[in-house]
Structures are given as structure tokens and as C-alpha cells.
């Protein structure tokens, strides 16, 4: 079982809808990252969280350490938000690199 699980795997929504992507993890972590990957393959870091909530434009990321759960929200979604969103954790006591979820493929239709 992967230490970092994401849901849903695929999500199609209409423009303007509020989007939620979930991430759960089964081990202790020191930080949780949300990343965005576009069709060409390039990855952009959206957020790094260790507690609470962060907001950037229409994107909001939250984390609940006790429940080992994080969510990424997109408000007023737009077709340009279509991408793969990836949750990744820095495992406490583990290697310096990240452990990744499999990603959520989001399509926003006009």
C-alpha cells in the first residue's frame, strides 16, 4: 500500500465549479507538498504545508495533522486549471526526497 494516497484519480467538472482533491498519508511527515503537472510533463510546486492552511489566488490547501489528511481546493475553476495535481510528503525520518501520490487528473470543461 502506498504511503500517500490521493482521491479521486480522475475528476471532470464544469467551469466555475468548486474543486476538492484529497490526500491521505499513513506515516509521520514533516511537510506535505501540492504540485501541478501539465501535459508536457513539467511540474510546478503549488504549496508546501506543515500545518493549517495556505491560499494563493484561487487555490487553497489545508492539512489536518491529527487525521493525516490534506485537501487542495480550487475556487471558480477554469479550463486552464486542467492538469494533474500531485500530493507528495516528506516522510519523517525517511530519505530527503519526497514520496508521491499517483496524482489526480483534473479536466475543467468550458
Partner 1 sequence: DGGITQSPKYLFRKEGQNVTLSCEQNLNHDAMYWYRQDPGQGLRLIYYSQIVNDFQKGDIAEGYSVSREKKESFPLTVTSAQKNPTAFYLCASSIFWTEQFFGPGTRLTVL
Question: Can you give the binding site for partner 1, defined by CB under 8 A?
Answer: 2, 4, 30-31, 33, 35, 40-45, 48, 86, 88, 90, 95-103
**13 or 46, CB closer to partner 1?**
46
The strand pair at 19-25 and 10-14 is best described as unpaired
Minimum separation from the CB atom of position 76 to partner 1 (A)? 25
DSSP-assigned states of every residue in 28-88: -EEEEEEEEE-TT--EEEEEEESSEEEEETTEEEEEETTTTEEEEEESS--GGG-EEEEEE
- Please report how close the Cβ of residue 43 comes to partner 1 at its closest, in angstroms: 4
CB of 78: closest distance to partner 1 in angstroms?
A: 23
Amino acid at each position: 500500500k502506498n504511503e500517500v494516497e490521493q482521491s479521486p484519480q480522475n475528476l471532470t467538472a464544469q467551469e466555475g465549479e468548486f474543486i476538492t482533491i484529497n490526500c491521505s498519508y499513513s506515516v509521520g511527515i514533516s511537510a506535505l507538498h501540492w504540485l501541478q503537472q501539465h501535459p508536457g510533463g513539467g511540474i510546478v510546486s503549488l504549496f508546501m504545508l506543515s500545518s493549517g492552511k495556505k491560499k494563493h489566488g484561487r487555490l487553497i490547501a489545508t492539512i489536518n495533522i491529527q487525521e493525516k489528511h490534506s485537501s487542495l481546493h480550487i475556487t471558480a475553476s477554469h479550463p486552464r486549471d486542467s492538469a494533474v495535481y500531485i500530493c507528495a510528503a516528506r516522510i519523517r525520518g525517511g530519505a530527503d526526497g519526497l514520496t508521491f501520490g499517483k496524482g489526480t487528473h483534473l479536466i475543467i470543461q468550458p
